[in-house]
Amino acid sequence: MPRMSKAEKQRSHSRILDAAALLFRENGIGATSVSDVMKTAGMTHGGFYRHFASKEDLVEAAFSHAVDGVVADMERESTVEGRKRSRQAYVSKYLSQEHVEDRSHGCPLAAMGAELARTGNAHAQAGARAVARMAALLQNDPEGAPDQGLAEMALLLGTITLARLADTRDEATQTLKTGQIAVRLLQDHWH
């Protein structure tokens, strides 16, 4: 059957990236094998190294790809609604029961952040860039105090992590509600 065309290789590349961004968030980096990723992308494991030099290489690319997806999601909503409303919508979506339950399409920082931070300087830049991009989305006023978005990001990240640790759905819902109150408080009283 091989060889595929250049266009088809690019489509394969995208499928691998999508699969990795999904599985790394769902099951973690360490618990996801190259073979798992390639199977989900609809191929066998051997072809992987025509696309990436190593699993480490894929981790970095898939993480950035996942961040791109989340940011694009937010920016799509931004064009439709006003800036303030779109940020409120983003917070609501972030602190939702769906986000608690579906890690695979959710926040890459919540899903892979701790694991990424452990690899030391290898992914440091990618991690820091992701934090900056997502915090910027939450900034109340682009002219105002620049750290309110970062504090809000921390609160969202912490809340979803705690909600995912709850052992009942009711407890998770309560955690989300608490997070929503805290976010509003931060938005209203920052400087």
Q: Closest Cα to residue 176, out of 186, 164, 188? A: 164
- Residue 55 binds which entry of a second copy, DNA, none, with Cβ cut-offs from 5 to 8 Å by kind? DNA
Residue 75: CB minimum distance to a second copy, A: 21
CB 25 within 8 A of CB 112: yes
What whole-number distance in Å separates Cα of residue 105 and Cα of residue 65?
11
Q: Is 187 exposed, middle or buried (0-12, 13-18, 19+ CB in 10 A)?
A: middle
Site string for a second copy, 117-136 (x = CB under 8 A): xx--x--xx-xx-xx-----
What are 175's two structure tokens?
A: 């955690």
Q: What are phi and psi of 19, to 5 degrees?
A: -60, -45
Binding piece for a second copy, criterion CB under 8 A, among 5-13, 44-52, 54-62, 151-159: 151-159
Cα angle, residue 70 at apex, residues 53 and 162 outer, rounded to 5°: 100
Residue 38 vs residues 15, 35, 70: alpha-carbon distances, Å: 9, 5, 23
Residue 112: CB minimum distance to DNA, A: 14
Binding piece for a second copy, criterion CB under 8 A, among 40-48, 53-61, 65-73, 103-111: 103-111
CB 119 within 8 A of CB 69: no
User: How many amino acids of this chain bind a second copy (CB under 8 A)?
Assistant: 51
Binding piece for a second copy, criterion CB under 8 A, among 23-31, 38-46, 69-77, 83-91: 23-31
Check residue 164 for interaction with a second copy (CB under 8 A): yes
Check residue 181 for interaction with a second copy (CB under 8 A): yes
Q: Note the residues at the interface with DNA (CB under 7 A).
A: 1-9, 12, 32-36, 38, 43-51, 54-56
Using the structure block, give the residue that is written with the tokens 């952040």.
113
The residue ranges that bind a second copy (CB under 8 A) are: 27-28, 30-31, 103, 109-118, 121, 124-125, 127-128, 130-131, 147, 150-151, 153-159, 161-162, 164-168, 171, 174-175, 177-179, 181-182, 185-186, 189-190
